[in-house]
């Protein structure tokens, strides 16, 4: 099983997703048991991949369609098979997908009710999980597009499957249109590169790109499609709609889906075109979109009247910090300046921190909505009298989102602040000011929801153990990653940073040899 771990990490949730409704037809308990089995097996095989790649420092190439998964990809100087290629960055993204996937699954199992379309939600959830793992593991450009589409379809389904309400289908439609256009841009870029080099293998194309006119057009198309899916302002507007209307159990994985687009950007900029980027323009472009995303999303969060949309704009602003870290890293790649590595470290570390923080807040939005029957801030208040633990968790998540020490958000943001200051002080200043603004935003949300007199009419259900377990796990990540960032940066983040910064030759050599 260990030999096939990379492909099993994709296949198990993929087949599990399609089989789940069949179990549901027999008995609901069997369906839930099936989801648990699929979750546990996916966790095990993806952990095997993570331990081998992050611990062993190797690039794991898995060849599909060959007699052996270790068979040579290149024959006669040409790649002839589809590969999964897992380097430290892919493995790191796999860890994030695992954390979010398992936590979201545990929450879904107990939180969602049958009348809320539980079977459909769980099927789509597993499909999205499989798509994300495929997207970050693949070493093939066309498969990258295929998994881009799988994640898009599953995400839109998750956002809009509750057709008995008016807003989720509308949000899903908008997201679907944007994802489709983004996917077409990616497909067009893949087509251009295939036409040029007769190949779809990322490592092979990366060894051949010259930086000519067609290559640049393909790069521009990839940047456009991936920046949109990464929620970069001004192409971000689908994101608050989607996050705000999706069921809270699914939103944590939707956030990781967006992060997978940032992974795609990293792969394109540092690996696919890393050999021909002669100017820092692309890095500056990503950094500029990043800081624009941070500022605009924080300002928009300030005036939201719906708790879900408020947190959604907060989540979009966090994506801006990741883009800023990635952009500063890319801009300094040519010069090899040390602050570029620090920026990448901050941006990549912020991904896992964001998954935990924003994930926790979205799960709590679900609990609040269930308790009060609304997400409108003007109708909420006083829930702290009855939801004491949930209030504490909300405050913890809010402070982490705003980057307050000693929580995990601060540990990654300080790396981004310091490194972006080297590229341009204005980037750092805007990022810091927006963090302060976010603090005001999330404290306003906490004040609105949990403080004030006890509501006279409130039927609060006791929070179930699965929901508490899911939220408690994320809270634990927030605290432990915040108190011991050095350990996690050394063992999780730094290998991923090195894979981007100095690992392009290893990524290419793992497939092409030499």
Partner 1 sequence: MSGIGSGEGFWNPIVWTLLALGVLGLAYALWLQGRRTYKRGTEQEEPFLSGERLPEEGSHIRGEHLYWGFVAGLRPLIETLRAFHTGFIGDYIGWLVVVLGVAILVVML
Q: Does 167 bind partner 1 (CB under 8 A)?
A: no
Closest-CA residue to 333 (of 341, 345, 325, 342): 341
Write the secondary structure of 207-254 as one string of H (helix), E (strand) and C (coil). HHCCCCHHHHHHHHHHHHHHHHHCCCCCCCCHHHHHHHHCCHHHHHHH
Give the residues across from 140 on adjacent strands: 201
> Which is closer to partner 1, CB of 453 or CB of 514?
453
Q: Does 448 bind partner 1 (CB under 8 A)?
A: yes
Residues in the chain, overall count: 514
CA 340/CA 192 separation, integer angstroms: 30
> Which is closer to partner 1, CB of 103 or CB of 380?
380
CA 427/CA 501 separation, integer angstroms: 21
Contact pattern for partner 1 over residues 224 through 263, marking x by CB under 8 A? x--xx---x-xx-xx--x----------------------
Angle subtended by helix axes 248-266 and 118-137, to nearest 10: 10
Q: Does 174 bind partner 1 (CB under 8 A)?
A: yes
Say if residues 172 and 157 touch (Cβ distance below 8 Å). Answer: yes
List the one residue from 56, 65, 212, 338 that touches partner 1 (CB under 8 A): 338
Minimum distance from CB of 182 to partner 1 (Å)? 7
Tokens read off for 279: 């100017």
Q: Does 41 bind partner 1 (CB under 8 A)?
A: no
Q: Does 78 bind partner 1 (CB under 8 A)?
A: no
Write the secondary structure of 262-307 as one string of H (helix), E (strand) and C (coil). HHHHHHHHHHHCCCCCCCCHHHHHHHHHHHHHHHHHHHHHHCCCEH
CA 300/CA 317 separation, integer angstroms: 10
List the one residue from 11, 414, 429, 458 that touches partner 1 (CB under 8 A): 414
Q: Does 326 bind partner 1 (CB under 8 A)?
A: no
Backbone φ and ψ of 464, nearest 5°: -75, 160
> Which is closer to partner 1, CB of 123 or CB of 271?
271
Site for partner 1 in 295-314 (CB under 8 A): 296, 299-300, 302-303, 305
Query: Which part of the chain contacts partner 1 (CB under 8 A), choosing from 63-71, 153-161, 314-322, 373-381?
Result: 373-381
Give the residues across from 60 on adjacent strands: 86
CA 443/CA 395 separation, integer angstroms: 8
Tokens read off for 308: 């879900």
List the one residue from 381, 397, 495, 503 that touches partner 1 (CB under 8 A): 381
Q: Does 482 bind partner 1 (CB under 8 A)?
A: yes
Minimum distance from CB of 378 to partner 1 (Å)? 6
Site for partner 1 in 276-295 (CB under 8 A): 279, 281-282, 284-285, 289
Q: Does 371 bind partner 1 (CB under 8 A)?
A: no
> Which is closer to partner 1, CB of 106 or CB of 411?
411
- The DSSP-derived string for 361-372 is HHHHHHHHHHHH
Say if residues 219 and 273 touch (Cβ distance below 8 Å). Answer: yes
Tokens read off for 497: 């940073």
Residues forming the site for partner 1 (CB under 8 A): 173-174, 177-178, 181-182, 185, 216-217, 219-221, 223-224, 227-228, 232, 234-235, 237-238, 241, 279, 281-282, 284-285, 289, 296, 299-300, 302-303, 305, 338-339, 342, 377-378, 380-382, 405-406, 410-411, 414-415, 418-419, 422, 440, 444-445, 447-449, 451-453, 482-487, 489
């Amino acid at each position: 099983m260990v030999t096939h771990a990379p492909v099993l990490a994709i296949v198990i949730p993929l087949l599990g997703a399609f089989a789940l409704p069949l179990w549901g037809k027999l008995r609901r308990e069997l369906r839930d048991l099936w989801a648990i089995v699929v979750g546990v097996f996916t966790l095990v095989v993806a952990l095997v991949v993570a331990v081998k790649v992050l611990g062993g420092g190797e690039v794991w190439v898995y060849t599909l369609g060959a007699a052996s998964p270790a068979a040579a990809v290149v024959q006669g100087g040409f790649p002839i098979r589809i590969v999964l290629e897992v380097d430290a960055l892919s493995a790191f993204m796999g860890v994030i997908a695992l954390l979010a996937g398992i936590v979201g699954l545990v929450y879904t199992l107990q939180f969602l009710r049958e009348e809320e379309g539980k079977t459909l939600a769980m099927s789509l959830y597993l499909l999205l999980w499989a798509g994300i793992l495929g997207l970050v593991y693949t070493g093939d450009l066309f498969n990258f597009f295929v998994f881009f589409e799988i994640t898009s379809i599953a995400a839109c389904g998750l956002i809009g499957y509750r057709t008995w309400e008016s807003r989720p289908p509308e949000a899903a439609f908008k997201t679907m249109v944007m994802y489709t256009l983004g996917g077409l841009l990616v497909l067009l870029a893949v087509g251009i590169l295939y036409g040029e080099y007769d190949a779809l293998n990322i490592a092979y194309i990366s060894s051949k790109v010259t930086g000519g006119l067609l290559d640049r057009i393909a790069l521009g198309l990839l940047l456009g499609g991936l920046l949109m899916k990464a929620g970069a302002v001004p192409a971000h507007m689908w994101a608050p709609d989607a996050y705000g209307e999706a069921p809270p159990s699914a939103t944590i994985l939707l956030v990781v889906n967006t992060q997978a687009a940032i992974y795609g950007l990293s792969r394109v900029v540092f690996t696919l075109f890393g050999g021909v980027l002669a100017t820092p323009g692309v890095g500056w472009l990503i950094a500029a979109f990043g800081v624009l995303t941070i500022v605009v999303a924080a300002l928009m969060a300030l005036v939201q009247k719906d708790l879900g949309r408020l947190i959604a704009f907060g989540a979009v602003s966090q994506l801006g910090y990741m883009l800023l870290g990635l952009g500063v890293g890319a801009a300094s790649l040519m010069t090899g300046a040390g602050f570029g590595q620090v920026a990448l470290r901050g941006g990549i570390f912020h991904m896992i921190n964001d998954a935990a923080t924003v994930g926790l807040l979205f799960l709590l939005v679900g609990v609040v909505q269930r308790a009060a029957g609304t997400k409108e801030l003007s109708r909420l208040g006083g829930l702290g009298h009855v939801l004491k633990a949930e209030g504490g968790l909300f405050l913890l998540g809010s402070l982490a989102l705003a980057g307050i020490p000693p929580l995990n958000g601060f540990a990654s943001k300080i790396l981004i602040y310091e490194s972006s200051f080297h590229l341009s002080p204005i980037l750092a200043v805007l990022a810091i000011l927006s963090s302060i603004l976010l603090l005001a935003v999330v404290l306003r949300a906490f004040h609105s929801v949990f403080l004030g007199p006890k509501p006279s009419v409130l039927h609060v259900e006791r929070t179930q153990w699965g929901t508490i377990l899911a939220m408690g796990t994320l809270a634990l990540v927030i605290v432990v990653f915040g108190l011991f960032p050095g350990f996690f940066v050394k063992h999780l983040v730094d290998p991923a940073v090195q894979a981007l910064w100095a690992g392009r030759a290893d990524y290419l050599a793992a497939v092409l040899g030499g």
